[in-house]
Chain A
Amino acid sequence: MTAFLARRTATLGITVLLASFVVFLIPYVTPGDPVRKIIRSRVAGEVIDDSVAQALAADLGLQDPLMMQYLRWLGRLLGGDMGLSYASRTPVAEQVLPALAVTLSLVVMTLGAAAAVSVVLGVVAALQEGRAADRVITTVTQAFIAVPEYWLAPVLVLVFALNLSLLPSAGWSGPSSAVLPVAVLALRPTSYFTSAVREGVLDALGAEHVVAARARGLGRVRTLRRHVLPNGLLPLTTLVAVWFAGLLGGSVIVEVVFAIPGMGRLLYDAVRNSDIPLAQGGVVVVVGLAVLLTTAADLVHGLLNPRLRGRRA
């Protein structure tokens, strides 16, 4: 187990380091002069004086060799300093942390809702395998996968905000403002989770010890609670962690449409404004957290599944 932990930690460190280099390079390999992009983000207008551009480039250290800029940035990053936002000239961390808190709460609500719904649907589908309820649940949840967020978001706004006046159309100011964005974000994970729960429960139902328990006369509900669900829901842990990581940076459309001040919106604005330090800091945090989460999920999975742990160790 110790070797497994050490290997996973080393992999995590290398992954984050490589990711940080890729993240750092992105603004420099995309088309256009970063200095001109920065100036355009600060002041209205298209005409940019060369002397202003050169002075700003020198001031920001953008004329140094790229590797020197990367090492300088990495050194500061390791010391907990993500630099100053080009646009606002305030520390990047001061913008990233509040945005991260918003996105984390959005993601937790989304995955909580998706997991709760999918456990119910998945168990019902498994217990009703092959019957009408199973077919309906499987067909409907599979259809969720095909529904794109950019389509669903305006439809829900049209129905629940505009026509029924039940919910706010945008903003982030209380539980009611979270309902629509959570519904939009939860749709696809619910589909995958339901399928995973159904398969997990079916596998568990067929396990020898479950059959034996039933044969011993253990009640249906107790069998389900004690023997089926603990193993049947195991695949859900990894899936939740993977989706957690994905939603951290993948909530851009929802955050823009619903005007939510989270990481997606922050990264969208940072890219639009060519705010390189803000974009770099934001992506590094998202990537770091994503890698951490998937590693944690792996560890949890390993701990819960002795066979897997033994094989890895």
Chain B
Amino acid sequence: MRSPLRSATPVGLVALLALSGCGFSGEEGGAARAADREQRIVVDNFRAPVADWALESDAAYILSLSGCLETLTRYDEAAGEIVPALATEWEQVSPLEWEFTLREGVRFQDGTALTADAVVTSLRTVLDAEVPARAFSPAVVSGVEAVDERTVRITTPSESPLVPYRLASVNTGVLAPAAFEGGSVDPFGHCTGPFTPVSEQPKQSLTVDRNEDYWGGEVQLAGAEVRFITDGATRATQVQTGEADVSLSIPAANVAALEADSAVEVLKAESPRTATLYMNNGRAPFDDVDFRKAVRSALDLDALAASVYEGAALPATGPFAPSEPWATEGAEAPQQDADAAKELLAAAGYTAERPLEIIAIVERAEFADVATVIQENLKSVGVPVTITTKEYAAVEPDLLAGDYDMVLSQRNRLIDIADPIGFLTADYTCEGTYNLSHFCDEDYDRLVAQAAGTADTEQRYELYARAGEILEEQAVNVWLVNEQAVDAVRADLQNHRQDPLSRYVLRAETTKPAS
């Protein structure tokens, strides 16, 4: 089987375009001005590296978005599929083994060649980390070895069609062996990407210069500064003042002002995050499917999206965003129907013996308001609800132990890899490690297990869709709104493409005209 995922035509390709990276800047509004190769840009990012550039940590995202760190494969936002990056092809040579052929002529920024040994050194560092990244942990990868100078073999503990997806995770980015000398990770001059990190102001910024020898073509910008600015309003201001060319993750409250500014372009894309009202299926009254459906019917998702989220999120149609290729085609958001809710409550034999509790985690400030809206909706159909706010870490043990009624939280479905298998398995199978809903259904488990072993992308996506339908039919949770990734860029920036997961921002093709 030769590179099956490369040739596959995923279901809903067009839809996936919308899911991941539909926002482009520059050129389309008129004739592009000539690019100036001496230009440098500023990117305001919402997080700073905290783990001394350890690749298994979130620091990998910063190295990747800065145009430094590259992976063997890459999830192409435009094509909606896994495409070659540092590896040109890959093959499942046996049920438990995949081999990746490395691209020829690639050199690290320190001048050393990209070899299989170098890749193995880098990947083993991640695999052996004290706290491994879930995309590439011993649970899913059992071995990494060099077959010859240009071939890397990845061994899995069980048959997995998703290894190329795992090697697109930024946590599996490849650094030169010299980056790992001395016990810590040093990415400076040790990446392969279009930009080379040259200096760092701790907690403030990372400065990168053009990589003149980039294997992927001529890099247009002379360099960039990635600033770490945690305050969303400050990021929004900086792109308006022109201090920043790109500001990632703009808060909903700042979107209207930016949209009114002709010097700024606001880019929006559906993010794989859905705000969810988790219901404890393991205890009464939520152990009755009619009661769960009643809760769903009682809620006004349109009003919720319009009010609390100020239009920066759309009513959810189920566990997946409509544009995802594994979502059920034509699915619509449930509409509020108080009469139906009351009938379902009667069918469930519900009596308001005690107020039910909604826990709103404090890490998401908007959840307090969401909980209030839900409280009003449920009160109108005769379900009394109290609201408590708690820190997520404080409430997690209770959630996992099944000691709660309802909790407002949200999940990134593609947190590990560009495929929802991890989410569907961990969150909803009977033995799922993050099954907060305490949902258990044999048919569902069978489907997910079948999907996990299905190499054919189209078939696998169909199985995911069926799994999603079961979750919706069983009203396991109420999926409230699909959040949007909102970035803002200066209008003169050209060839910038938005990535809803903020993995790729500085690219070789990005240009800016002389100011």
> Interface on A for B, CB 8 Å cutoff?
30-33, 36-37, 39-47, 49, 52, 55-56, 59, 87-90, 95, 98-99, 154, 157-158, 161-162, 165, 168-172, 256-259, 261, 265-266, 268-269, 273-275
Residue among A40, A95, A98, A162 having the largest count of chain B Cβ atoms under 10 Å: A162
> Interface on B for A, CB 8 Å cutoff?
48, 50-52, 54, 56-58, 61, 130-134, 139, 171, 184, 201-204, 227-231, 233-234, 237-238, 240-241, 243, 390-397, 411-412, 415-416, 426, 433-434
The answer on a CB contact under 8 Å between B240 and A162 is yes
The answer on a CB contact under 8 Å between A157 and B237 is yes
Question: What CA separation (Å) do A231 and B377 show in the bound complex?
Answer: 66
Question: What CA separation (Å) do A162 and B242 show in the bound complex?
Answer: 9
The answer on a CB contact under 8 Å between B203 and A269 is yes
What are 8 sample pairs from A and B whose C-beta atoms fall under 8 A apart? A30-B391, A33-B393, A44-B412, A47-B426, A49-B139, A89-B52, A170-B243, A269-B48
Contacts of A171 in B (CB 8 A): 204, 227, 243
Contacts of B231 in A (CB 8 A): 170, 256-257, 259
Contacts of B243 in A (CB 8 A): 161, 168-171
Which single member of A46, A59, A172, A275 contacts B130 (CB below 8 Å)?
A59
A257-B234, A261-B201 as given contacts; A165 in contact with B416, CB under 8 Å: no
Q: How far is the CB of B75 from chain A (nearest CB, A)?
A: 16
A32-B396, A33-B397 as given contacts; A43 in contact with B241, CB under 8 Å: no
- In the complex, residue of chain B having the shortest beta-carbon distance to the beta carbon of A34: B393
Contacts of B393 in A (CB 8 A): 31-33, 36-37, 40, 274
A43-B131, A87-B51, A269-B48 as given contacts; A261 in contact with B238, CB under 8 Å: no
The answer on a CB contact under 8 Å between B50 and A269 is yes
Contacts of A31 in B (CB 8 A): 390-391, 393-395
The answer on a CB contact under 8 Å between A43 and B394 is no
Which single member of B51, B238, B416 contacts A89 (CB below 8 Å)?
B51
Contacts of B411 in A (CB 8 A): 46
- In the complex, residue of chain A having the shortest beta-carbon distance to the beta carbon of B409: A46
Q: How far is the CB of B409 from chain A (nearest CB, A)?
A: 9
Contacts of A274 in B (CB 8 A): 393
The answer on a CB contact under 8 Å between B203 and A42 is no
A59-B130, A154-B233, A274-B393 as given contacts; A165 in contact with B433, CB under 8 Å: no
The answer on a CB contact under 8 Å between A47 and B434 is yes
6 further A-B contacts with Cβ under 8 Å, apart from A32-B393, A46-B434, A161-B237, are A42-B56, A49-B433, A89-B52, A157-B237, A161-B241, A170-B238
Question: What CA separation (Å) do A45 and B395 show in the bound complex?
Answer: 16
Contacts of A265 in B (CB 8 A): 203
Question: What CA separation (Å) do A274 and B238 show in the bound complex?
Answer: 29
- In the complex, residue of chain A having the shortest beta-carbon distance to the beta carbon of B184: A89
The answer on a CB contact under 8 Å between B202 and A98 is yes
Question: What CA separation (Å) do A39 and B58 show in the bound complex?
Answer: 11
The answer on a CB contact under 8 Å between A169 and B238 is yes
Contacts of A266 in B (CB 8 A): 203
- In the complex, residue of chain A having the shortest beta-carbon distance to the beta carbon of B363: A272
The answer on a CB contact under 8 Å between A95 and B57 is no
Question: What CA separation (Å) do A157 and B229 show in the bound complex?
Answer: 15
- In the complex, residue of chain B having the shortest beta-carbon distance to the beta carbon of A170: B234
- In the complex, residue of chain B having the shortest beta-carbon distance to the beta carbon of A31: B394
Question: What CA separation (Å) do A279 and B249 show in the bound complex?
Answer: 27
Contacts of B132 in A (CB 8 A): 43, 52
A45-B416, A168-B243 as given contacts; A52 in contact with B234, CB under 8 Å: no
Q: How far is the CB of B165 from chain A (nearest CB, A)?
A: 15
Contacts of B204 in A (CB 8 A): 171-172, 259, 261
Q: How far is the CB of A165 from chain B (nearest CB, A)?
A: 7
- In the complex, residue of chain A having the shortest beta-carbon distance to the beta carbon of B261: A162
Which single member of A87, A88, A256, A259 contacts B227 (CB below 8 Å)?
A259
Contacts of B230 in A (CB 8 A): 256, 259, 268-269
Question: What CA separation (Å) do A170 and B131 show in the bound complex?
Answer: 34
